Amino acid sequence: MADFYKAILFLNYGLLLSVILLGAVRFRVLNNKEKQYFYCIAFLFFIELLNLVLPYVFNLNDTSFLYPLYIAGEFFLLSALFIRKLNLPAYFLGLVAVVASGFMISKYSFDYPGNADIAKVISNIIIICLSGFTLIREIKDTSGQNRFLVTDASIFFYYSVSVFIFIVQHQIAYLSEHDYYIIFSANNILSGILYISFLYTFIKLKK
């Protein structure tokens, strides 16, 4: 099972790199709102790159300090994306920025909350709600201008299922190594589906 997990993990790294390269090529054909998708995937690529480089290049095996940055950055970028797509008032962006910044300051300065996973679950639920409302609006829209509909659906699917997996994982007191690999492999497969949706959308984009 460990070999299967590693195979899926490195496949995802390849998919993520492909998304970044193709997104950079197609960046010019994106409108201002759509560029936010590239910023989101670029941030994720940056975090994954640090997780690879720090242990193998700088011999820094504990990269857990990146986790709060990942939670806050993911929350801000995706929330901002859907707030802009929903045409919500600008103060919602300010509120999201304050929450993300407040979490990072609280975690890095005072180590609060002690369990950052709580913030991860809450941020994911907010992302699910925002992406869900966006999907409903896009499905009702008959103009055919929803070029990222597949990606939005994949984001909603990924965060909906992954937050369920996350909660179930923490409800089980004792998990065997085999069970952990199964859970992480399932989450990596979901990530792969999300990256493929980005690839599909970038490939289909036209000027």
The model's pTM is 0.92
pLDDT confidence of residue 185 = 86
Higher-pLDDT residue of 196, 168: 196
pLDDT in tens, 1-13: 777 888 888 899 9
42-46, 56-60, 123-127, 179-183: range with lowest mean pLDDT:
179-183
Per-residue tokens: 187: 């989450």
Percentage of the chain beyond pLDDT 90 is 63
Per-residue tokens: 82: 């859907």
For 160-198, what is the HEC assignment?
HHHHHHHHHHHHCCCCCHHHHHHHHHHHHHHHHHHHHHH
Q: Is the pLDDT of residue 174 over 80?
A: no
pLDDT confidence of residue 171 = 64
pLDDT confidence of residue 201 = 95
What's the whole-number average pLDDT of the chain? 90
pLDDT band at 50 (very low <50, low <70, confident <90, very high): very high
The residue-averaged pLDDT of 59-85 equals 94
Q: Is the pLDDT of residue 144 over 70?
A: no
Residue type, 30: L
Q: Could you tell me if 187 and 165 are in contact, meaning their C-beta atoms sit under 8 angstroms apart?
A: yes
pLDDT confidence of residue 156 = 96
Contact partners, residue 43, CB within 8 Å, separation at least 6: 73, 74, 77
Burial letters 62-91, b for 16+ CB under 10 A, else e: eeeebbbbbbbbbbbbbbbbbbbbeeeeee
What counts of helices (H) and strands (E) characterise the chain? 7, 0
